[in-house]
Amino acid sequence: SAIYLKDYKVPPFLIDKTELTFDLDEATTIVTSRLHMRRNPAFGKSTAPLILDGGEDVKLIGVAMDDYPLPAEEYRISEDKLIITATADEFILTCETLIEPQNNTRLEGLYRSSSMFCTQCEAEGFRHITYYLDRPDVMSVFTTTIIADESRYPVMLSNGNEVERGKTDEGKTLVVWHDPFPKPAYLFALVAGDLAVKNDVFTTQSQRDITLQIFTESHNIDKVDYAMEALKRSMRWDEEAYGREYDLDVFMIVAVDDFNMGAMENKGLNIFNSSCLLASPETTTDDTYLRVEAIVAHEYFHNWSGNRVTCRDWFQLSLKEGFTVFRDQTFSADMHSATVKRVEDVSFLKTAQFAEDAGPMAHPVRPSSFIEISNFYTLTVYEKGAEIVRMIHTLLGAEKFRAGSDLYFDRHDGQAVTCDDFLAAMQDASGVDLSQFKRWYSQAGTPVVIVTDAFDEESGTYRLTMKQDTAATPAQPTKLPLHIPVRVGLLDEQGAALSATVNGIAADDHVLHLTDSEQVFEFTGLTSRPVPSLLRGFSAPVKLRYDYSAADLLLLMSADSDGFNRWSAAQQLAVNELTSLIDQAIKGDDLSIDSQLIHGYKTLLNDASLDPAMVALILALPSQAYLSELANPIYPAAIKQARQYLKTQLAGALSTDFERVYHEHKIQGAYQATAQDIAHRSLKNMALSYWLESGSELAQQTVITQFESADNMTDQFAALSIYVNSISVNSIAVNTQHSKAAELLAAFYEQWQSEPLVVNKWLMLSASQENDNALATVKTLMEHPAFDLKNPNKVRSVLGGFGQSVSGFHKADGSGYQFLADQIILLNKRNPQIASRLCTPLTRWKKLQPELSAKMKAELERILAEDLSKDVYEVVSKSLA
Ligand code: ARG
Ligand code: ZN
């Protein structure tokens, strides 16, 4: 049963005040709610019954209207709704419900994680706590009383400010929290446990002192310093970049081990998956440091883009998520290298979001229908949504964009609004017409932009012809032209920037507005044929097609003033080479590469002027996943073989360069997660991985020495994964070398078994190995004492890792798919959100090579025959449709 955007109606009732009391206990938790309700004047005159949302796991003990118990004939429970037949225009509804957080394996609503109670209410978790109008356009002022045994739960937290603390008659402790800002139920949070705290203070631009607190289990409190500093940087940045100041007196973050997603922006009380908060040099890699900073920022930024201004309904999810991702991306770009950040974000988008857009779950950034909203916390809503906001920034320019965001926050503070309201604010503040641009929100699929060019020597005119086309997606057979900003610069043969005139404006860099299905753009004032640098900075989330020669790409790669396009040209060169290798591999030919490419990489390795992080990104080669996105059909083993071949060839031809680069980028001194140090480490470790593939004994020794002597997790884990993933090491027959990889993995586990987050990395690496035993290995891992089916991080590590193993997951007999399907069926009822996410690799079945495609499809059909949660049902049924 799907829900449609077009059916939206304002709520018939409002809840002005919500008073909650939680009596927490290991066996049963009693929740009492007093809801100060009235009929919504905006709904119009009505005698409609009051329908509250609940869940099958909520047991109603009592219900009263204005403090009189309701007689049985005046209410009923139908499926998961509580229906109250007749109400006054204004009343207080009291509900007493019983829940069992200790048995909540879905991790939605109130549940136990380790020794604590915690909540996750977005999107529709609150209804698993008590009956409520669980929709984001019902905003209420919450007062929350927590009652618990203080010896086990000395810390009791909820949103807002602590206003009272005392004892109950039975000697339990009682704490009252009040949040003055009206909010939807999805932003409610509660935490109780025996937690350690780190305190700090932030002084806002208007000189208010805010208490900052991060809570963790006591053994983790030494790993929150980085997150605390990141929080302070975020608070300062939001004041400077958006003029947004924090509003409550206290801002709290709690780390929990069992969490379905990354983190949650509950008002004043963010709850984090511990994997997205904790960091220490010994246990955390560079990429996780950056991730922690980005997620701390993301959740903090939601205080304005999400909480003060929230979503009218869940179709508008990108209103807060797309905007907030754009904000956290810009923040990270400002803290580190903007180009590196842009390359990472775009690579991710082109790999994973483009694949989503090309698959059965493709949907617009503002979906028009859904069965289960949890399935729409997607790369499309988040990452493509952020690209839409970035395009608005490009169309308006920085200053008008800021005027637009100021107007948006000003106009809608305290409201639940839509993506249209966001656009209207941007348009009203800037005067820029966004009427066609708006289609980006409603039209699914990745547009293809095909560019051809011509140069007229006589007049010095260069013409770019651009065509746009978006392929049909589920439920959207025809598409309209979008307003696509295409940033373009021109280079001469030496790579120097050329100024040219477009529409009377002379500049090195132009934003062209592609709005028709086909359009011609004229550049005048040129003396020779230029090389175009197209879609600079990835100015729109499209697939660009232009027939670049290898010489053009080499020129752009070494000389373009746009750092992003230098990377993009290098990537295109590698994609071209790999595409031809993949074709050779599919045909069963002997593989061979073009020596020009080797020359290009040699130049790269010898150019000291380049940012080492960019060099490392280029050397990473297009991933298996990205090449799969580009391919149709996908031959997983051929892609793997092509990548391995190219890497081995580069390693063999350039081994002395790699050895030198490895040594040049070693860092002296203590570990620091700065952009500069991260850049050096990433290039050093990338060079080491190539050097090892050259077959050098010394390289092998160097990897092992780095593994054994590293003083930080980045270097230790890099050495371990380089060794374990090494093509040359793994190709040497079983005995000595192969067992050495197993030995290193065992040593690593031995060393880190008491650090769950490190163990998760070990699980992931172990599960993703490329060898004939991959499936057997993953089955063993699921029996390992370090594994726990109840913990989403561990499930993601093992099954996510397994999905990356071509030899395991894509086993020719289909047993890899069968294994994953078994796990989905197992988790379907226990944790529907996680089970549904695990389906993603199976949704690609249509694009796979025929033999594998049929086997994958059969597994989807097997899953569909089960009694499914809404979450899994939606993904599997749409995949088979
Ligand atoms: N709003 C959170 C964030 O992006 C994500 C919460 C997702 N929850 C869920 N059940 N899907 O920061
Ligand atoms: Zn978010």
Q: How many helices (H) and strands (E) does the chain have?
A: 31, 34
Q: How many CA atoms lie within 13 A of 748 on its CB side?
A: 33
Using pLDDT thresholds of 50, 70 and 90, give the confidence band for residue 782: very high
Atom number, ligand 1, closest to the C-alpha of residue 295: 12
The one-letter code for the residue type at 753 is: Q
With a CB cutoff of 8 Å and minimum separation 6, the contacts of 516 are 468, 481
Q: Is the peptide bond before 279 cis (omega within 30 degrees of 0)?
A: no
Ligand nearest to the CA of 266: 1
Place of tokens 């109603």: 60
Tens of pLDDT, residues 93-136: 999 999 999 999 999 999 999 999 999 999 999 999 999 999 99
Tens of pLDDT, residues 377-401: 999 999 999 999 999 999 999 999 9
Using pLDDT thresholds of 50, 70 and 90, give the confidence band for residue 738: low
- Say if residues 128 and 109 touch (Cβ distance below 8 Å): yes
The response to whether residue 473 sits with its C-beta less than 6 Å from ligand 1 reads: no
3-state secondary structure of 306: coil
Q: How far is the C-alpha of 860 from the C-alpha of 593, rounded, in Å? A: 38
Using pLDDT thresholds of 50, 70 and 90, give the confidence band for residue 630: very high
Q: At what angle do helices 563-587 and 338-348 cross, to 10 degrees?
A: 30
pLDDT for res 695: 94
Q: How far is the C-alpha of 357 from the C-alpha of 479, rounded, in Å? A: 14
Catalytic residue at 299? yes
Closest of 783, 754, 285, 622 to residue 766, by C-alpha:
783
Biggest CA–CA distance in the chain, Å, is 95
pLDDT for res 737: 52
Q: Which residues pair with 452 in a beta bridge?
A: 465
The pair of three-digit structure tokens given for residue 644, joined into one six-digit string: 């391995």
Residue 83: alpha-carbon gap to chain centroid = 37
Question: In this predicted complex, what is the ipTM?
Answer: 0.98
Residue 534: alpha-carbon gap to chain centroid = 27
Atom number, ligand 1, closest to the C-alpha of residue 108: 10
Mean pLDDT, range 434-447, rounded to an integer: 98
If one counts every other C-beta atom within 10 angstroms of the C-beta of residue 247, the result is 17
pLDDT for res 731: 67
The response to whether residue 122 sits with its C-beta less than 6 Å from ligand 1 reads: yes
Q: Is the peptide bond before 364 cis (omega within 30 degrees of 0)?
A: no
Residue 97: alpha-carbon gap to chain centroid = 35
The pair of three-digit structure tokens given for residue 157, joined into one six-digit string: 């937290």
Q: Of all residues in the chain, what percent carry a pLDDT higher than 70?
A: 99
Q: How far is the C-alpha of 641 from the C-alpha of 649, rounded, in Å? A: 12
With a CB cutoff of 8 Å and minimum separation 6, the contacts of 562 are 487, 489, 509, 533, 536, 537
pLDDT for res 594: 85
Place of tokens 């499209």: 542
pLDDT for res 735: 46
Output the CA 11–ligand 1 centroid distance in Å.
Answer: 23
- CA separation, residue 636 to residues 483, 626, 769, 851, 852 (Å): 35, 11, 15, 12, 10
Closest of 420, 478, 599, 454 to residue 532, by C-alpha:
454
pTM above 0.95, yes or no: yes
Which ranges in 510-635 belong to alpha helices (H)? 550-559, 563-587, 595-605, 612-619, 624-630
Atom number, ligand 1, closest to the C-alpha of residue 299: 12
Output the CA 574–ligand 2 centroid distance in Å.
Answer: 34
Please count the residues of the chain: 881
3-state secondary structure of 210: strand
Answer left, alpha or beta for residue 460, where phi above 0 means left and psi between -120 and 50 means alpha: left
Output the CA 122–ligand 1 centroid distance in Å.
Answer: 6
Tens of pLDDT, residues 634-670: 999 999 999 999 999 999 999 999 999 999 999 999 9
Tens of pLDDT, residues 608-618: 999 999 999 99
- Pairing mode, strands 461-470 and 518-523: antiparallel
Mean pLDDT, range 559-563, rounded to an integer: 97
Residue list, CB under 5 A from ion ligand 2: 321, 324
- Say if residues 558 and 495 touch (Cβ distance below 8 Å): yes
The one-letter code for the residue type at 188 is: F
Atom number, ligand 1, closest to the C-alpha of residue 306: 1
Quick check: 733 pLDDT over 70?
no
DSSP calls for 378-422: -HIIIIIHHHHHHHHHHHH-HHHHHHHHHHHHHHHTT-EE-HHHH
Q: How far is the C-alpha of 77 from the C-alpha of 111, rounded, in Å? A: 23
Q: How many CA atoms lie within 13 A of 548 on its CB side?
A: 24
- Say if residues 720 and 750 touch (Cβ distance below 8 Å): no
Q: At what angle do helices 419-430 and 385-396 cross, to 10 degrees?
A: 10
The response to whether residue 372 sits with its C-beta less than 6 Å from ligand 1 reads: no
Mean pLDDT, range 443-455, rounded to an integer: 98
Q: How far is the C-alpha of 75 from the C-alpha of 56, rounded, in Å? A: 17
Tens of pLDDT, residues 281-333: 999 999 999 999 999 999 999 999 999 999 999 999 999 999 999 999 999 99
Q: How far is the C-alpha of 363 from the C-alpha of 353, rounded, in Å? A: 11
Output the CA 405–ligand 2 centroid distance in Å.
Answer: 17
The one-letter code for the residue type at 307 is: N
pLDDT for res 513: 98
Quick check: 166 pLDDT over 70?
yes
Computed over every residue of the chain, the mean pLDDT equals 97
Three-state SS annotation for 222-254: HHCHHHHHHHHHHHHHHHHHHCCCCCCCEEEEE
Closest of 279, 249, 275 to residue 262, by C-alpha:
275
- Say if residues 503 and 513 touch (Cβ distance below 8 Å): no
Q: How far is the C-alpha of 853 from the C-alpha of 866, rounded, in Å? A: 21
Using pLDDT thresholds of 50, 70 and 90, give the confidence band for residue 477: very high
The response to whether residue 123 sits with its C-beta less than 6 Å from ligand 1 reads: yes
Q: Which residues pair with 97 in a beta bridge?
A: 31, 60
- Say if residues 824 and 863 touch (Cβ distance below 8 Å): yes
Quick check: 736 pLDDT over 60?
no
Using pLDDT thresholds of 50, 70 and 90, give the confidence band for residue 732: low
Q: How far is the C-alpha of 253 from the C-alpha of 236, rounded, in Å? A: 17
The response to whether residue 688 sits with its C-beta less than 6 Å from ligand 1 reads: no
3-state secondary structure of 578: helix
- Say if residues 302 and 265 touch (Cβ distance below 8 Å): yes
Q: How far is the C-alpha of 32 from the C-alpha of 61, rounded, in Å? A: 10
Which of the residues 122, 124, 299, 659 is marked catalytic? 299
